Amino acid sequence: MVAAGVAKGNPGMIELASRRIVVTGGAGFLGGHVVAALRRRGCRDVFVPRSAEYDLAEPAHVRRMYADMRPDLVVHLAAVVGGIGANRAHPGEFYFKNMAMDLFLLEEARLRGVEKFVALGTVCGYPKHAPVPFREEDLWNGYPEETNAPYGLAKKMMLVQCQAYRQEYGFHSIFLLPVNLYGPGDNFDPASSHVIPALVRKCIEARDANAPDIVVWGTGNASREFLYVADAAEAIVLATERYDGPEPVNVGAGFEIRIADLAALIAKLTGFQGRIVWDASKPDGQPRRRLDVARAERHFGFKAKVGFEDGLRATIAWYEKNR
């Protein structure tokens, strides 16, 4: 099927505009940007299954979604996900629902002859003490950081399924490993948000209340890499167009920043002038995160474009406007 509809001038490239494409999670933070990027490619038939109508952890709902939408391509972004607190509170739910979604969506895609399945994993699947920068070859060389291991392992099993289906059935699926995302439209709920939106909200609320300090989880010594959400969306669409291999591919910006430095930067950009108090009784999570991003550039030409401070300013401005 791929050969019949490849883009002119590139025998390995899928021409997306003519395809029926399902984007699971397409109404979410990343998904909205992916749908917009597909629209910019001229894609007209883009379908987003909504959770109110299709529970993708239920096989009957998955079968009905495929029957209703009849996709040529599936971009699977849907996940049950959250920050350290949410992972600690719901390890069983995060494991089961992610495993179930991934398992049923891939199997039904195979049975229905879907042309290509784009699977999104997570940096949380890497071993806790993987050498930095994280290289795809190190993905299996240890157990993930404990606070998010059930989620990380559930998503990593999708890579096993993708590779097994490629080997036995010749099924075209790819597996991408994005780093922590941020940007306008992120989740700012303190119960489930990741570190950047959590810090933005804390700083702005403390600034507006003239509070003398904010309390932040951990020691501040852990480091993270962040990728602007619009850059991540572009990477996913490029991979959908251009990449068809069994190896997982990191998607990131190729830098890291200490959480203490991140908090200070967000305080400066939001105008919060109080103290930052570290609650070392709470976990730091994985000690360091930074990806080796050479494979993405080599295989589908992706390189992050949005500078980190520019991305933070856009995120802060969005929250100030929409809170």
Quick: pLDDT tens for 197-228.
Answer: 999 999 999 999 999 999 999 999 999 999 99
User: What CATH number corresponds to the domain at position 25?
Assistant: 3.40.50.720
Whether 264 maps to a domain, the answer reads no
User: How far is it, in rounded angstroms, from Cα 191 to Cα 291?
Assistant: 27
Question: Which pLDDT band holds residue 192 (cuts at 50, 70, 90)?
Answer: confident
* pLDDT score for 121: 97
Whether 68 maps to a domain, the answer reads yes
Question: Which pLDDT band holds residue 191 (cuts at 50, 70, 90)?
Answer: confident
Long-range CB pairs of 58-66 (<8 Å, 24+ gap) are 58/100, 58/104, 59/104, 59/108, 62/104, 62/105, 62/108, 63/108, 65/22, 66/108, 66/109, 66/112
Distances (CA, A) of 251 to 101, 174, 185, 268: 22, 13, 20, 28
What is the residue range of 106's domain?
A: 3-182+226-254+289-306
Whether 188 maps to a domain, the answer reads no
Quick: pLDDT tens for 265-299.
Answer: 999 999 999 999 999 999 888 888 999 999 999 99
Hey, what amino acid is at 185? Answer: G
Q: What is the pTM of this model?
A: 0.92
Q: Which tokens belong to 175?
A: 């597996």
Q: Provide the 10 A C-beta neighbour count for residue 276.
A: 19
Whether 72 maps to a domain, the answer reads yes
Question: Which pLDDT band holds residue 147 (cuts at 50, 70, 90)?
Answer: confident
When divided into structural domains, the chain yields a total of: 1
Active site residues: 151
Q: Which tokens belong to 242?
A: 């251009």
Whether 170 maps to a domain, the answer reads yes
Quick: pLDDT tens for 231-259.
Answer: 999 999 999 999 999 999 999 999 999 99
What DSSP assignment string belongs to 35-96? HHHHHHTT---EE---TTT--TTSHHHHHHHHHHH--SEEEE-------HHHHHH-HHHHHH
Whether 322 maps to a domain, the answer reads no
* pLDDT score for 18: 97
- At 233, which helix (H) or strand (E)? helix 229-242
3-class secondary-structure state, position 217: strand
Whether 13 maps to a domain, the answer reads yes
User: How far is it, in rounded angstroms, from Cα 33 to Cα 86?
Assistant: 24
